[in-house]
Chain A
Amino acid sequence: GQNIDQPTEMTATEGAIVQINCTYQTSGFNGLFWYQQHAGEAPTFLSYNVLDGLEEKGRFSSFLSRSKGYSYLLLKELQMKDSASYLCAVRDSNYQLIWGAGTKLIIKP
């Protein structure tokens, strides 16, 4: 079957750095997405990786290793507004997104 694994919850301190991991086993791979979802709101797009390596976008970076079935999202200079759930999703061989359950990130002052 297809599986996306992420930690359920993480806690970090304002101003610090946090890394959220995602491992996947899917039927085919056509890209990996990270989304942010604040409580009670819709998911919003953060990043897309299809080749191995690091993609940087401001305070957020995303890394992919296709051979290891592994990605991480790195958040730097954490702000209170970064408290949210972070969703990892893989596009499979049918070009549909398979979603992880999300990682709830709690930021403490």
Chain B
Amino acid sequence: IAGITQAPTSQILAAGRRMTLRCTQDMRHNAMYWYRQDLGLGLRLIHYSNTAGTTGKGEVPDGYSVSRANTDDFPLTLASAVPSQTSVYFCASSQGSTGGNEQFFGPGTRLTVL
């Protein structure tokens, strides 16, 4: 089934630990995104990639890093987790970043940092 998968579904993590959230899409979309969603706030863009081999910073990039080695995968790494990174993380992809290209979202990863 075409779409976006994320792993893990949920995770409880000790502060200071390193964590990688995985995201894979099979729609051959050029652009991919990582968002976090916190109660009472809109989705906030962490990092994005307009095409394989390129990445860019979003609104809240501090404490996070990404890579885009190929079209399908876009992992998000927390180098040293802090409690303020407790959130629901959504990966999304789109064919392009202009026009009416809608973003398709993965099911999300619920991360708790203690």
Mind listing 30 A-B residue pairs with CB under 8 Å? Answer: A4-B42, A31-B99, A31-B100, A41-B108, A42-B90, A42-B105, A42-B106, A43-B105, A44-B105, A45-B102, A45-B103, A45-B104, A48-B102, A50-B100, A87-B43, A89-B42, A95-B97, A96-B45, A96-B48, A96-B58, A96-B97, A97-B43, A97-B103, A98-B42, A99-B35, A99-B43, A100-B42, A101-B40, A101-B42, A102-B42
Q: Does A86 contact B (CB under 8 A)?
A: no
Q: How far is the CA of A30 from the CA of B106 in the complex (A)?
A: 24
| Interfacial chain B residues near A96, Cβ < 8 Å | 45, 48, 58, 97
Count of chain A residues near B, Cβ 8 A = 22
Whether A43 and B100, one on each chain, are in contact in the complex, defined by CB atoms closer than 8 angstroms, is no
- The dominant DSSP class at the B interface is loop
Q: How far is the CA of A100 from the CA of B99 in the complex (A)?
A: 20
Tell me the minimal C-beta distance from B82 to chain A in angstroms: 23
Q: Does A63 contact B (CB under 8 A)?
A: no
